[in-house]
Amino acid sequence: MSEWAAKRFWTAAEAVPVEGGFAVQLDGRAVRTPAKAQLVLPSPALAEAIAAEWAGQGEQIVPDTMPLTRAANSAIDKVIPQRAAVVEMLAQYGETDLLCYRAEGPESLVAEQYARWDPPLDWAAEAFGAPLIRIEGVIPQDQPADSIARLRAEVDAMEPFALTAFHDLVVFSGSLILALAVRDDRMPVAEAAEVAELDAIWQERLWGTDEEAAEVRARKAAALADADRFLRLSRRD
């Protein structure tokens, strides 16, 4: 039995200015979120890109081809109402950041981790006054409270749409520091995706490609790229 899919019901999709920002209209009717809120966007660039997603649909709507629309819905329906909880959840990644947990061996992996993971950690220590401890092994250790507080403040300062994108940058990379590096143009998102998967890529070079694992990495990289695009399009400047 085939799955039901919503069918296209509009001819034209366009971005229009509205009170408080920009909206997307389908044949003159405003798009709304799943929670029935009006889809009001912070920038004309984001509104145009979301309108293009709607315009690009065929006879049936394929949500997987509309990542910007999905992220905007999340910003309005989920992030804005639960902002404090989202900020706290993301800040907690700093306490167990991927970049801080180092292998005890072999030497080639240890050296590669230090070469690829130390620069973003050193940058964050200087940029935010938030040094984090490098830890050998997997047993958690407390990070400096002042560092975590400064990183939390950095996250808390973000506007809702930026915070929505930042959520995916953190979750799909496993690193608050990598997400900040992407946000602040210290590292291209494609490089961040590779740095986040350093251990798996190292294992692949040693033992060969695991097709299932490679597919998972590709999906994560695509999600990170979508988040980075959403972040940049949502900027008001």
Closest CA to 170 of 234, 102, 64, 89: 89
Please check whether residues 49 and 97 belong to one and the same domain.
no
Please check whether residues 181 and 125 belong to one and the same domain.
yes
Domain span at residue 201 reads: 83-234
The one-letter code for the residue type at 177 is I
Whole-model pTM: value is: 0.94
Q: Please, where are the H alpha helices in 29-106?
A: 44-55, 67-74, 83-92
Is residue 77 assigned to a domain? no
Three-state DSSP state, 231: helix
pLDDT digits (tens, 9 = 90+) for 32-43: 999 999 999 999
Q: At what angle do helices 198-207 and 211-234 cross, to 10 degrees?
A: 150
Contact 168, 226 (CB under 8 A): yes
Terminal-residue alpha carbon distance, the chain:
48
Contact 26, 10 (CB under 8 A): yes
User: How many domains are contained in the chain?
Assistant: 2
Which two structure tokens, joined as six digits, stand for 129? 């006054």
Strand partners, 24: 15
Q: What is the mean pLDDT of each run of 10 residues along the chain (237 residues)?
A: 67 96 96 96 98 95 95 98 97 96 93 97 98 90 96 97 98 98 98 97 88 93 98 90
Q: What is the pLDDT of residue 4?
A: 43
Please check whether residues 46 and 101 belong to one and the same domain.
no
Q: What is the pLDDT of residue 140?
A: 84
Location of structure tokens 């649909």: 57
Q: What is the pLDDT of residue 205?
A: 87
Q: What is the pLDDT of residue 209?
A: 81
Q: What is the pLDDT of residue 165?
A: 98
CATH code for position 20: 3.30.2180.10
Is residue 20 assigned to a domain? yes
Please check whether residues 40 and 143 belong to one and the same domain.
no
CATH code for position 193: 1.10.3580.10
Closest CA to 168 of 149, 192, 202, 148: 192
Q: What is the pLDDT of residue 1?
A: 35
pLDDT digits (tens, 9 = 90+) for 95-128: 999 999 999 999 999 999 999 999 999 999 999 9
Please check whether residues 207 and 124 belong to one and the same domain.
yes
Q: Please, where are the H alpha helices in 56-197?
A: 67-74, 83-92, 107-128, 145-156, 160-173, 176-183, 189-196
Please check whether residues 60 and 136 belong to one and the same domain.
no
Whole-number Å distance between alpha carbons of 232 and 76 = 17
